[in-house]
Structure 1
Amino acid sequence: MTEDRSTDAPALRRADWGQAGGASRAEAAADLVAELASRVSPGTRLGTKDELRARCGVSVGTFNETLRLLQTRGVVTVQRGPGGGLFAAEQTPMAKLAHSVLALDASQADVTQALRIRNALEPLLWQDALWHASPADIRDLRLHLERMDAAVEAGDDDAFVRANWRLHARVAEITPNTLLCSLYAALLELVERHALAVRPQPGVSLAQHIHDRCRLHAALVDTLEKRDRETLMRLVAEHDTTTAADAE
């Protein structure tokens, strides 16, 4: 691979985004691949999935999450078949927009504003999912619900919130609107990195709160399967009760 230094490299690395420390293994692997992509011309082959996974030193499951992060950020494209693999992506306006969101300061004000905008996009995502969700999409969403259920049973609020975010990210993947998906995913990632606490409503225990939120999300997925728009919109309105510290 030859380096292309004729233009400024795009801000593909977390260090360029103002990212705080404490990255997960998937995020660290995404940084490594993004570093490779930032040094070459768009369209350059970075390697096969197995080659890059071995280079990152992570499991298959972790690298699948890494690949999801890279594709959401517009860092790589994937080509199948002979000669395929991961390729450095052209930095489209949508990818640059996502990078701009991720470059925001990690201050409480930024997280609060990101959450407010994310919540405003929720009805659009769920409406698109209502009309475009396939049986395979519904199956995937139910797998995420199972992880949320397991976290509730274990009383693990951090695991619950992370499983919740993965469900929302999967809902965003259903929309055919790539701009909506890209912007929402970038906002979700910003919130996810800097808002981990679960804050119940006054007078409600933490255990009851995450149980209720799990049931609400299960009902949302049920409405997608039934194509029940009226119930979906009511549940989406009920869902939008979050704060920056309760980013579900």
Structure 2
Amino acid sequence: MTRENTADDDAASTGPPAYRQADWEPLRRPAAVAEQMRTLAAEAGPGERLGTKEELRTLWGVSVGTFNEALRMAQSRGVVTVRRGPGGGLFASTPSAVIRLGNAVLSLDQNAEAVAEAVRLRNAVDPLLVRDVLAHATTGDVQALQDAADRMGEAADRGDVDTFLRANWQLHARMAEISPGPILRSLYLGLLEIIDTHTRAAVAAKGVAPREDLLARYQVHADLVAAIAVHDLRALELIERHNTGDPVVEPNDPDRPGPALDHARA
């Protein structure tokens, strides 16, 4: 048994807070779980204990991986903190001004105009983020980016759009976490989530993207990670190509990215 599990077991004896779960639908995505954490923290108030990791994970009926990803999102938004030891668990906290900036972005109505603006801003700050990643990425960071790119490639080969988009989100979110700038990091994560939510909805409405489209989108991400790994400034060219939707294969190659994911530029 790990120290963390022991702490959670100890904390469980104090009992969970009063949950209002009757109207909650089953949760599938980390973003949905993170939103439930935010709501629960807002209702509880700063400093109030929300429960242990296992209590909340069981409550929402999600896997350990989904819960941990959601917890990382909630912590990055400054709405929860984790304490270890007896009486530990997740606690509501008050976001800083920087975190509130990112949260304000997330609170925008996700209509077509807001999503278009989110994409435009994300494209504008991407070069700044990539420069930070080139300067500060550690061996562990590069491996995490490579793992996410590999998951994208495997999902693309299977034609698994949902897994592909989740791995894509994980790759870009990890890039944001590498940046030492808290304002850039918070803003980027907020924009990323708006775009990701819209992308999933659009893909669901328009149907599954062809396998060739997914493989083409995977390839530009794989090339981007490869450039980051060797601190190659070509990464700036690749992120521009990623954002403008330029072909990510040679012009004479018939396997060009089609329109299925053009709206998303995942």
Q: TM-score of the superposition, structure 2-length normalised?
A: 0.74
Say if 1:23 and 1:111 are closer, same or farther in 2 by CA, change over 3 A. farther
Structure 1: state its 5+ residue gaps. 2-20, 199-204
Give the structure 2 partner of residue 238 of structure 1: 241
Equivalent position SS for 1:42: coil
| Matched AA of 1:247 | R
Q: How many residues align?
A: 222
Say if 1:25 and 1:215 are closer, same or farther in 2 by CA, change over 3 A. closer
Say if 1:208 and 1:55 are closer, same or farther in 2 by CA, change over 3 A. closer
2:121 and 2:262 map into 1 onto residues whose CA distance is 11
Give the structure 2 partner of residue 172 of structure 1: 176
Residue from 66, 72, 80 that aligns with 2:70: 66
Equivalent position SS for 1:43: coil
Say if 1:22 and 1:51 are closer, same or farther in 2 by CA, change over 3 A. closer
Residue from 77, 81, 87 that aligns with 1:77: 81
Residue from 232, 254, 262 that aligns with 1:228: 232
| Matched AA of 1:162 | R
1:104-135 per-residue CA deviation (whole Å, 9 max, x = no partner) reads: 12211111111110111111111111111111
Say if 1:45 and 1:65 are closer, same or farther in 2 by CA, change over 3 A. same
2:43 and 2:161 map into 1 onto residues whose CA distance is 39
1:36 aligns with 2:40: yes
2:27 and 2:88 map into 1 onto residues whose CA distance is 29
Equivalent position SS for 1:86: strand
Q: Judge which range, 38-47 or 93-102, deviates more.
A: 38-47
1:238 and 1:28 map into 2 onto residues whose CA distance is 30
Say if 1:25 and 1:168 are closer, same or farther in 2 by CA, change over 3 A. closer
Give the structure 2 partner of residue 187 of structure 1: 191
Give the structure 1 partner of residue 103 of structure 2: 99
Structure 2: state its 5+ residue gaps. 1-13, 15-24, 204-208, 246-260
Q: Contact 1:112–1:244 at 8 Å: present in 2 too? A: no
| Matched AA of 1:98 | G
Give the structure 2 partner of residue 201 of structure 1: none
> Cα distance, 1:44 vs. partner?
2.8
Q: Judge which range, 116-125 or 157-166, deviates more.
A: 157-166
1:49 and 1:155 map into 2 onto residues whose CA distance is 33
Mapping for residues 52-63 of structure 1, pairs under 5 Å: 52-63=56-67
Equivalent position SS for 2:179: coil
Give the structure 1 partner of residue 265 of structure 2: 247
Q: Contact 2:27–2:62 at 8 Å: present in 1 too? A: no
> Cα distance, 1:226 vs. partner?
0.7
Q: TM-score of the superposition, structure 1-length normalised?
A: 0.79
| Matched AA of 2:51 | G
1:76 and 1:32 map into 2 onto residues whose CA distance is 11
Give the structure 1 partner of residue 124 of structure 2: 120
Q: Contact 2:27–2:60 at 8 Å: present in 1 too? A: no
> Cα distance, 1:206 vs. partner?
4.0
Mapping for residues 122-201 of structure 1, pairs under 5 Å: 122-196=126-200, 197=202
Larger radius of gyration: 2
| Matched AA of 1:52 | L
> Cα distance, 1:83 vs. partner?
4.6
1:181-228 per-residue CA deviation (whole Å, 9 max, x = no partner) reads: 111111111111122347xxxxxx943332222121111111111112
| Matched AA of 2:184 | L
Q: Contact 1:78–1:85 at 8 Å: present in 2 too? A: yes
Say if 1:62 and 1:207 are closer, same or farther in 2 by CA, change over 3 A. closer
Aligned-CA RMSD value: 2.5
Return the structure number with greater relative CO, CA threshold 8 A, min gap 6.
1
